[in-house]
């Protein structure tokens, strides 16, 4: 018998996290993957690349024309909504800036606000272990960001107007990185990206689209720490993400 995967063993997910061909039978019907070009993202990128140097960068430059470094600086000094008043610092994101996968969470918590990096603490460790189980890391093939770049007071859900003011930053990150797949981590991230109030259980079983990019919905790592049986479902979601990515990459 082969030796158990040490990462899955550490997570306490054996044997339910061992991937078998039968796993895919739990998905209702065939998964349809839209392999059409990412038109909305490419249009923004080509607009900037077609006329290099023609857009002077200033505080008035539209967000969808900023390069990566200027976008990061704009976020760091953002005052577009009330969340700027009580933050310690913004949380721009972290990872591979040429990633094929982009993971999107909700908003920074207290530790993220203090350290300036998304998904730290025990939830971050679990996320890192989950990524390693599918051969990825924060700095290898993955970029991690949030819908909201500032911590909401008391870790409350971000409000509609806060999401609206911050979403252009996420869209520009997406346009520059140009990932082939998005994984929405948790209910709020999924509902914000997909503009829906549907439950996470119903969203998990389908492939969605955001800005022309396929989206897989799964549970937030912090939720999984409190609900251990659902780790098996999160593993199934990551396996589905792998399958879709492989289909897109052919």
**How far, in Å, CA of 73 to CA of 27, rounded?**
42
pLDDT at 250: 83
pLDDT at 232: 95
**How far, in Å, CA of 71 to CA of 39, rounded?**
21
Whole-structure pTM value: 0.78
Torsion-angle region of 202 (φ positive above 0: left; ψ -120 to 50: alpha; else: beta)? alpha
**How far, in Å, CA of 128 to CA of 190, rounded?**
20
- Are β-strands 142-146 and 94-95 bridged in parallel, bridged antiparallel, or unpaired? antiparallel
| Tens place of pLDDT per residue across the chain (250 aa) | 455 555 555 555 554 444 444 443 344 444 444 444 444 555 554 544 443 444 455 567 999 999 999 999 999 999 999 999 999 999 999 999 999 999 999 999 999 999 999 999 999 999 999 999 999 999 999 999 999 999 999 989 899 999 999 999 999 999 999 999 999 999 999 999 999 999 999 999 899 999 999 999 999 999 999 999 999 999 999 999 999 999 998 8
Q: Which pair of structure tokens corresponds to residue 137? A: 């890391």
Q: Which pair of structure tokens corresponds to residue 207? A: 């492939």
pLDDT at 155: 86
**How far, in Å, CA of 14 to CA of 2, rounded?**
13
Q: CA-based Rg of the chain, rounded to a whole angstrom? A: 18
**How far, in Å, CA of 126 to CA of 8, rounded?**
11
Q: What fold characterizes domain 36-249?
A: Uracil-DNA Glycosylase, subunit E (3.40.470)
For the chain, give the number of residues: 250
């Amino acid at each position: 018998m082969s030796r158990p995967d040490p990462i899955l063993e550490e997570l306490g997910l054996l044997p339910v996290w061992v991937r078998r061909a039968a796993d895919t039978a739990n998905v209702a019907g065939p998964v349809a993957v839209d392999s059409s070009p990412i038109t909305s993202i490419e249009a923004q990128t080509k607009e900037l690349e077609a006329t290099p140097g023609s857009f002077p960068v200033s505080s008035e430059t539209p967000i969808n024309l900023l390069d990566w470094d200027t976008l990061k600086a704009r976020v760091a000094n953002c005052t577009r909504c009330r969340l700027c008043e009580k933050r310690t610092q913004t949380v721009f994101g972290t990872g591979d800036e040429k990633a094929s996968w982009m993971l999107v969470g909700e908003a920074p918590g207290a530790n993220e606000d203090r350290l300036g990096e998304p998904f730290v603490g025990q939830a971050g460790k679990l996320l890192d272990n989950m990524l390693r189980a599918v051969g990825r890391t924060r700095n290898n093939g993955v970029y991690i960001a949030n819908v909201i770049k500032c911590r909401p007071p008391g870790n409350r859900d971000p409000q509609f107007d806060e999401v609206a003011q911050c979403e252009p930053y996420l869209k520009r990150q997406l346009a520059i990185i140009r990932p082939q797949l998005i994984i929405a981590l948790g209910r709020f991230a999924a509902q914000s990206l997909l503009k829906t109030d549907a439950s996470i259980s119903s969203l998990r079983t389908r492939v969605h689209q955001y800005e022309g990019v396929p989206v897989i919905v799964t549970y937030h790592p912090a939720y999984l720490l409190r609900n251990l049986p659902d780790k098996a479902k999160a593993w199934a979601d990551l396996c589905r993400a792998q399958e879709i990515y492989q289909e897109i990459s052919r």
